[in-house]
Amino acid sequence: MRVIFSGGGTGGHIYPALAVLERLKERQLLDEVLYIGTEKGLESRIIRQKQIPFKAIELQGFKRSLSLDNLKTIRLFIQSTRRAKRILRDFKPDVVVGTGGYVSSAVLFAATRLHIPTVINEQNSVAGITNRFLGRFVDRISIAFPEVASQFPEQKVVLTGNPRAQQVAGMQSNQRLTDFNLQAKVPTLLIFGGSRGAERINAAFLAALPELNQKSYQVLFVSGRVHYQKIQTALQGQTVAANVAVVPYINDMPTVLPDVAVILGRAGATSLAEITALGIPSILVPSPYVTNDHQTKNAQSLVSHHAAEMITEAQLTGTTLLKVTDQLMLDPARRQAMGEQARQLGVPDAADRLIKVMQTISH
């Protein structure tokens, strides 16, 4: 199968594509691949680092307020659609897969104009603006949350889950906690505000630290590289007990997850795919700064199935952090029940499901 992937801007739009690509290779279904993104997006670095063929187009997103810059966006979209058509004609893909981000708009739209089979993957419970636009033109729409189905043409929608889930499903403990001077067998709370960190989560951790130092469980706190120096300054003169580890970032985060008892963090699509695939109880603090407040809706999907707790960013303090984490960390039976509910929401064969859709429309 000859496949073009397009998606970018954030890891949440890139890693699902990489998960499908990895699975295609494992199943020996891939003849040739090309990834189309922008030079400015995160995808240009990640895809090239993995030595995947990459071509760039120039595009930008729409401003949500009235702006003359949107005229430039329209011009770039038209130009990028033309360039995408040239790339598509040269590569001759069997199918084109879009995983979100404005870059995929021109590529997938161009593919539909050339009558090349197309599928988009929507990872969130609220459809992004690019996927809402493309939903009218593409052949199939792969979704991770049932709640988003109503935002697309019903006959095109297929529930596949987030392909990222298949990369982590079944991962076993490898005692990575010892890398952070923590004990391998002690129940551990992971506090993680995303790759860049989250100021409100960091502030709540600092406020709770004196009491966390005294807990019978462990805490692995990831500040984010951007905030690490500020955290180190704030910790001067404070005690950080042996049951607490403070780090700026964790490379290959999924390898740590099987050893974690509870996660407190954001509610991005990739995080939730990993959490549900592994059946990890979670305390979700949705980012209020994302489009359409989709992280809150993502979190509510888990909360409604008793698979997670949720604290809004406005509610998050050292006191509320301690209260909710103690309720789970000190109650193994409740953790187990919540973890089982989370696992039931996971889709451990999500990449294979999306590949089946690709095969169906490309024949």
Residue 250 annotated in ligand binding: yes
Q: How far apart are CA 31 and CA 14, in angstroms?
A: 20
Domains of the chain are 2-166+348-362 (3.40.50.2000), 176-345 (3.40.50.2000)
Confidence of residue 170 (pLDDT cuts 50, 70, 90): confident
Residue 298 annotated in ligand binding: no
Structure-model confidence comparison of residues 75 and 99, the more confident one: 99
pLDDT single digits (tens) 299-313:
999 999 999 999 999
* pLDDT exceeds cutoff 70 at 70: no
Cα R_g (the chain), whole angstroms: 21
- Contact between residue 160 and residue 354 where contact means Cβ atoms under 8 Å apart: yes
pLDDT single digits (tens) 110-138:
999 999 999 999 999 999 889 999 999 99
pLDDT single digits (tens) 270-301:
999 999 999 999 999 999 988 788 999 999 99
pLDDT single digits (tens) 220-252:
999 998 999 999 999 998 999 999 999 999 988
Residue 11 annotated in ligand binding: yes
Q: pTM score, two decimals?
A: 0.87
Residue 295 annotated in ligand binding: yes
Element (H, E) at 87: helix 69-91
* Cβ contacts of 121 within 8 Å, gap of 6 or more: 7, 16, 17, 97, 98, 99, 100, 142, 143, 144, 160, 162, 163, 354
Residue 320 annotated in ligand binding: no
The number of residues in the chain equals: 363
Q: What per-residue confidence (pLDDT) applies to 299? A: 96
* pLDDT exceeds cutoff 90 at 337: yes
Place of tokens 């609220």: 126
